[in-house]
Amino acid sequence: MHTADDRLLAFNYRSIYAPEPERLKLHDGFILDHYLKQFNDEIIAPRNFDHCGEPCAVACKKFVGEYKKDYEPYAALGPLCGVFDQRAAERLNKYVDTLGLDAIQAGGTVAWFMELIAAGLVPAADFGLPAEGPRGFPVGREAGGKALPSPEDFDLVADSAHNADYAIAVLKMMLFTDHGAPFRQGLRAAAKWLDARYGIKSLDRAVFTAHGEQGCMVPNQYWTPGMFAPMPLMGKYFSYYENTFYEPHALGRKNVERFVYELYSENTGACRFHRKWTEALIDEVVTSHFELPGLDYWRMNFQVARAIHAHQSARSVPWESRRTVDIIVGFLENWEQDGLTDPDLLAWLARFRADRDQAARDFWRAMYDGMNAAFEQGLPEPPPAAHGPLTPK
């Protein structure tokens, strides 16, 4: 079973190309010994916890000084951008938060452009950016190029600070200059503009799910196919993102299950951090409190999900980026290396190795068809024990 250790997403997802021992070394040296150690020493040990402001007994928020720490922002605006120091990540996160931007979308966009600069695919001068580019990005990894950095050749404080400064410079360029006008149309549109201008394939280095002609969403920071599934609402955990292998059609059905259960939290005002118990009980709470004994709460939320699906799912677009496909293949290969002999896993790996592009289209379509079938045929409420783990390990 894989853990988060060797599934660290760093340097615009380039860590996925490293072999498992190299990924573990990056995690141990950069995260456990520094980034997470700072978090534990400054927050966990002194118990710097609070609640969100609601009358809740669970003090789940972690903070130090003025900074509230959550996994998603401090991953997307941390390791994904080559930042592995809490002080540097705090500055970068505060800048993005002050601008009112989504941290995951901003992090995925900035990390992508930082890789383009580091790889020499676009000139920094054309965008008014510093001549010294981002540090530590292992460009050329797919062709056996530079390996992931180690603490010996990457100064976790100084180089993280440099990369945070560079990320802020990229954000300022994208938001406030004439050079940045194409980026204000979104990551997907900007990549196509860069490719037309410079004759490169920057789109293949971007990671996003596509919707309609220009819509895109940088996925939540989990190395699982469910985060890249063709769902009508992305970016809100409305899919199954546990680190478990399902063949894609079955995964499409699991995504619908999670979609409906996530609506339990959305439509009752219940915090999704409590979902392990609320999803088993909230229907009884609602029907008894509002005296609705005949209400099938699962069915009601399923109908809401199906209406959203009918309105939006047809606009989902298959993966356009090579990097996204590589993430899916890497997920499957990780399970193969861990010794999983599921026939579906082995069959899909054979298909990807025979024709990567066609297999990617087929995998995406199978997830889409599984979702469609679940909505068309109906989906009975699974017993709570059948959910599987509701919080990723």
> Quick one: residue 144, left, alpha or beta (phi over 0 = left, psi -120 to 50 = alpha)?
left
Q: Which residue has the tokens 């009975």?
A: 380
d(C-alpha 140, C-alpha 268), whole Å: 48
pLDDT of amino acid 16: 96
Instruction: Say what the pTM is.
Output: 0.94
The tokens for 264 are 């339990």
Kindly tell me the number of DSSP H helices and DSSP E strands found in the chain: 13, 6
Across the chain, which has 393 residues, the per-10-residue mean pLDDT values are 74 96 95 97 95 86 94 98 99 98 98 98 98 92 66 96 99 98 98 98 98 95 97 91 97 96 90 88 90 93 97 96 98 97 99 99 99 95 59 44
d(C-alpha 82, C-alpha 366), whole Å: 34
> Quick one: residue 353, left, alpha or beta (phi over 0 = left, psi -120 to 50 = alpha)?
alpha
Dihedral angle computed from the Cα positions of residues 350, 248, 107 and 202, in that order, rounded to the nearest 10 degrees: 50
What letter does residue 34 receive in the DSSP assignment? Answer: I
Neighbours of 391 (CB within 10 A): 10
CB within 8 Å of 282: residues ≥ 6 apart: 264, 268, 270, 297
Q: How far, in Å, are 32, 156, 267, 385 from residue 153 at the CA level?
A: 17, 9, 50, 48
d(C-alpha 199, C-alpha 192), whole Å: 10
> Is 239 in contact with 213 (CB distance < 8 Å)?
no
Pairing of the two strands 316-317 and 61-64: unpaired
pLDDT of amino acid 190: 98
Domains, the chain, with CATH or none:
1-206 (1.10.569.10), 214-393 (no CATH)
